[in-house]
Amino acid sequence: MKLAVLGTGGVGQTIGSKLVELGHEVTMGSRSADNEDSRAWAQAAGSGAAQGSFADAAAAGEIVFNCTAGGASLEALEAAGAQNLAGKVLVDVANPLDFSQGMPPTLSVCNDDSLGERIQAAHPDAKVVKALNTVTAAVMVDPGSLSEPGTILVAGEDSGAKEEVGALLRAFGWPADSILDLGGIEAARGMEMYLPLWLRMMGALDTAAFNIRVVR
């Protein structure tokens, strides 16, 4: 399958490399078509890896991952082009973290709105699925590296899109019963507002390599 990864940071590179390893063709997108990080990533990741602008990548991908800085995601997706996202599954991994006042970051959107909803509203023809934003990049693609995977949350309006994302999550190593569908994209509010708690837990545990498990 052809996939697009918008974002050249640790998340984009980790997800991109895993997708290439799984046999997919991946184009990594950036503000600049010849971004140094994505060029180095494409060279290292192997023959299934390519790079380009946000628009090049979005046009090439059948499924698009948004792995851009949350405060810039709407801008990045606008550059990717609504026409290149229309009809496609758009997996939103971003968190709307605002580091402008230092640490810990605050959320630039919260309570009665979320980045996931803003992305869906800006791109009504894309099928936005919020997923993977609640774990660190290494855990996203290797939940088996923890003592147990824990729970991974998904949300979005389109059930077919969530099934497609579920298949990718299972390929990443998330057992089917670890995937908890919270319903429509409005659930992105809680998934994003979990970040302040996630950051506290990272401090308490002194590692980003952890997850929570929902039990009943």
Ligand X SMILES: NC(=O)c1ccc[n+]([C@@H]2O[C@H](COP(=O)([O-])OP(=O)(O)OC[C@H]3O[C@@H](n4cnc5c(N)ncnc54)[C@H](OP(=O)(O)O)[C@@H]3O)[C@@H](O)[C@H]2O)c1
94 touches ligand X (CB under 6 A) = yes
Cis peptide before 104 (omega within 30 of 0): yes
Q: Which of residues 129-158 bind ligand X (CB under 6 A)?
A: 133, 136-137
7 touches ligand X (CB under 6 A) = yes
Q: How far is the CB of 157 from ligand X (least distance, A)?
A: 21
Element (H, E) at 130: strand 127-131
Could you tell me which residues come within 8 angstroms of residue 66 by beta carbon, excluding any fewer than 6 positions away? 6, 7, 73, 76, 77, 90, 91, 92, 93, 94, 119
Q: Are strands 97-98 and 89-92 parallel, antiparallel or unpaired?
A: unpaired
Q: How far is the CB of 17 from ligand X (least distance, A)?
A: 12
Comparison of 126 and 152: residue with beta carbon closer to ligand X: 152
Comparison of 160 and 203: residue with beta carbon closer to ligand X: 203
75 touches ligand X (CB under 6 A) = yes
Comparison of 159 and 197: residue with beta carbon closer to ligand X: 197
Pairwise CA distance, residues 123 & 39, whole Å: 28
Which residue spans within 37-123 are E strands per DSSP?
49-53, 63-66, 89-92, 97-98, 106-107
53 touches ligand X (CB under 6 A) = no
Pairwise CA distance, residues 154 & 184, whole Å: 9
Comparison of 17 and 68: residue with beta carbon closer to ligand X: 68
166 touches ligand X (CB under 6 A) = no
Q: Which residue is nearest to ligand X (CB)?
A: 9
The residue ranges that bind ligand X (CB under 6 A) are 7-12, 30-32, 35, 67-70, 72, 75-76, 93-95, 97, 133, 136-137
